[in-house]
Amino acid sequence: MRQDRQMDMVNGPLLKNIILFSIPLMLSNFLQLLFNAADTIVVGKFAGENALASVGATGSLVFLLTSLFSGLSVGTNVVIANSYGGNDHDQIRRAVHTSIWLGLVSGAFLTAAGYFLARPMLQMMSTPDNIIGGSVLYMRIYFLGVIALLIYNFGAAVLRSKGDTKRPLYFMVISGVLNLCLNLLFVIVFKWDVAGVAIATVISELVSAFLVVYTLTKQSDAARLDLKAIRFDGPTTRRIIAIGIPAGIQGIVFALSNVVIQSGINSFGSSSIVAGNSAAANLESFVYIGTGAFTQAEITFTSQNIGAGKRKAAGRIMVESLFLVGISAFIIGYAAWYFGHTLLGLYTNAEEVKAVGLIRLEYVAKPLYLNGILDVFVNSMRGMGISTLPTIFMIAGICGVRLFWMATVFPGSHTLETIYMCYPISWIVTTVIQAVLWIIVYRRLKKKIIG
């Protein structure tokens, strides 16, 4: 393996290395979101409002079904990064092959679940009758490619755990450009509408999975993948699950709360409201770009330093991540809201849809830095190897507040503003809880109570 493929996360200036590590991640996240936005823009502009709403109505449900197994890639990252820090090459080899095995098995399960549960779950969410057919079609096609999606996630986690964030970026560019071209072909030329967007997504995910698997088979270090050696390893799986399952469960419970919120949005019975919410939520993802990259770097750097025995470095990494996340999320969030009308115009020409989107941007995107600060504390603890307790408090704080709000406040004030207010309120409450927990965990870590 070329030396420049691996970053030294244990020695040298932490802030500089975190930024260098995060830039390709940020670009990768940006391109992924850009190409996903292209899906939404193409279907909204060339297939109409109902098609846009059909795709948008599936977002929280797709996230719900994929969250548990996507969380396992977090476990892969922590286990392999920790092993690199401790120079445990045998553990690295076992983790690489076990991760790909997990991707195959969980992907097969999700394919079946997504196909058969699509319609009943969309009906439970009160999806409007005029869009539910398109939503079911989109989900069933999308989940045909979910194995490829998980293989890519696990494979990219392996590369990133040792500091290689550039090649996942290159793969994202290739698959994203392909996805965009296929979207234009299938939707504009072939007139496949919702089905065209879904098929383009599946094909691009197959390409990205192939690229990451091929790259892993060509590694010259312990991370090299031998296709014949892909198998279940009990101890390694337990380590990955110990970190990944809590993260996945958190995603599931978050998704459940978002399904409740989506149901509240659907309760207005307007495809314009569903479409406006979908467009704004898509824009909102761009605000999270810096947070996603810096907290991913935080997990990897913390894990490698813990593996190398440098426990106190976890505190410095958290503080520097807090600074980077807070600044980036605040600036991008405010810009998304300020230029909201223009940005929403990329998705739709309908003023009613834009008006709905602007409400969400004001109440959710602008204060999204609060969510970023919260994630810094949680991901720092996951990098230390502590995942279950932060997850429990995250579920209690975020989901508890949102579900309570939707059950008690929203029925008495049936407005979009009331729905969206539950986001910043839940972030503030949970951040206070997680900050206190982080202080306790870090103090114990320094005393070597936590290894």
What lies within 8 Å, CB to CB, of 412 at 6+ separation is none
- Does residue 209 sit within a domain? yes
- Rounded to whole angstroms, what are the CA distances from 79 to 98, 184, 242? 11, 40, 10
Give the model's pLDDT for residue 254. Answer: 73
Alpha-carbon gap, residue 424 to 417, rounded angstroms:
12
- Does residue 135 sit within a domain? yes
- Does residue 115 sit within a domain? yes
Give the model's pLDDT for residue 449. Answer: 46
Helix and strand counts by DSSP (H, E) for the chain: 18, 0
Q: Which of 211, 145, 138, 144 is nearest to 173 (CA)?
A: 211
Give the model's pLDDT for residue 388. Answer: 87
Alpha-carbon gap, residue 322 to 370, rounded angstroms:
11
- Does residue 336 sit within a domain? yes
Alpha-carbon gap, residue 299 to 405, rounded angstroms:
31
321 is in which domain, residue-wise? 3-446
**Structure tokens, 76:** 């892969």
Sorting pLDDT into bands at 50, 70 and 90, what band is 387?
confident
Give the model's pLDDT for residue 6. Answer: 66
- 56-101 pLDDT, tens digit per residue, is 778 777 877 787 777 788 889 889 988 888 889 999 999 999 999 9
Give the model's pLDDT for residue 2. Answer: 45
Across the range 11-15, mean pLDDT stands at 83
- pLDDT of 21 > 60? The answer is yes
Q: Is 127 left (phi over 0), alpha (psi -120 to 50) or beta?
A: beta
3-state secondary structure of 226: coil
Residues in the chain: 451
Amino acid, res. 38: A
Alpha-carbon gap, residue 141 to 411, rounded angstroms:
35
Q: Could you tell me if 183 and 202 are in contact, meaning their C-beta atoms sit under 8 angstroms apart? A: no
3-state secondary structure of 148: helix
- Does residue 451 sit within a domain? no
Q: Over the range 207-221, which residues count as b (16 or more CB within 10 Å of their CB) and which as e?
A: bbbebbbebbeebee
Q: Which of 282, 275, 262 is nearest to 406 (CA)?
A: 262
- Does residue 372 sit within a domain? yes
Count how many domains the chain has.
1
Average pLDDT value over all residues in the chain: 88
